[in-house]
Amino acid sequence: MTRTARQSKKTSRILIVEDERKISALIRKGLEEERYAVEEAFDGEYGEQAVMSGRYDLVVLDIMLPKKDGLAILASMRTAGVDTPVLMLTAKGSVDDRVRGLDTGADDYLVKPFAVAELLARVRTLLRRKKDAEKSATTLAIADLTLDLVARKAVRGGKAIDLTSKEFALLEYFLRNRNRPLHRSAITEHIWNYNFDTGTNIIDVYINHLRAKIDGGFPVKLLHTVRGVGYLMKDP
């Protein structure tokens, strides 16, 4: 997997899961020209691993893939609660695949061969829909913990929790990705920026502070460390 786009804190991250490298390169080029951060996976097993990391704002997913097909990846995503928008790529005339893809949880589909301009239009629509949905939510919750995005207040078990701005941003990100393991690099990209020095332990320090505030004194712990990966906000 290769990171190839110009990156910034607010750049949307897109994963292409496509085994035909020429098609993947064509899609990547079009997305990069729109200043998206693009990564690629060329088989289903690696693609599924990448999708489950929670790093992406959108996935362009081919159905016919080696090792694991796109429909199986999509089913695994939705079963695991990963709600990342998915644009499916299907072969010409494969109506059944399109129907199954939409029924499984695809947000849109595009039939090969396609014009890159149309793919870009679909991508913009899906990303805009995702942002609108995120903006419309005013409260996020898990178990007895709630986060009011308007009043910027956190409460657990009826107890108000005082958070710094960075802790608030961390908690919001974890709640928006509940039950999904988050890599330290993904947390860095969302909360800090791409130039942040990941060699320091500042991320772990902030997360430990957050954990002490939201889990300290409560018998049920919500924020967990996933060894070798990062962190996970998990339903009890």
Domain ranges of the chain: 13-135, 139-233
pLDDT band at 201 (very low <50, low <70, confident <90, very high): confident
- Pull the structure tokens for residue 122: 């679909």
- CB neighbour list of residue 89: distance below 8 Å, 6 or more residues apart: 18, 23, 60, 61, 62, 63, 70, 109, 110, 112, 114
- Burial 22-39, CB ≥16 within 10 A → b, else e: ebbebbbebbeeeebbbb
pLDDT band at 51 (very low <50, low <70, confident <90, very high): very high
The answer to whether the 13-135 and 139-233 domains have the same CATH topology is no
Question: Strand 13-17 relative to strand 230-233: parallel, antiparallel, unpaired?
Answer: unpaired
**DSSP character for 196?**
S
Mean pLDDT of the chain: 87
Q: Is the pTM of this model over 0.85?
A: no
Contact 41, 11 (CB under 8 A): no
pLDDT band at 184 (very low <50, low <70, confident <90, very high): confident
The sign of the dihedral angle between the CA atoms of 17, 232, 164, 150 is positive
Element containing residue 79 per DSSP (H, E): helix 70-79
Higher pLDDT, 190 or 106: 106
Query: Residue 187's pLDDT is what?
Result: 85
Query: Residue 35's pLDDT is what?
Result: 93
Topology at the third CATH level for domain 139-233: Arc Repressor Mutant, subunit A (1.10.10)
Q: Decide if pLDDT at 195 tops 60.
A: no
Mean pLDDT of 179-208: 76
Which homologous superfamily does the CATH classification assign to the domain defined by 13-135? Response regulator (3.40.50.2300)
* Residues 131-171: tens digit of each pLDDT: 877 766 788 899 999 999 888 999 999 999 999 989 999 99
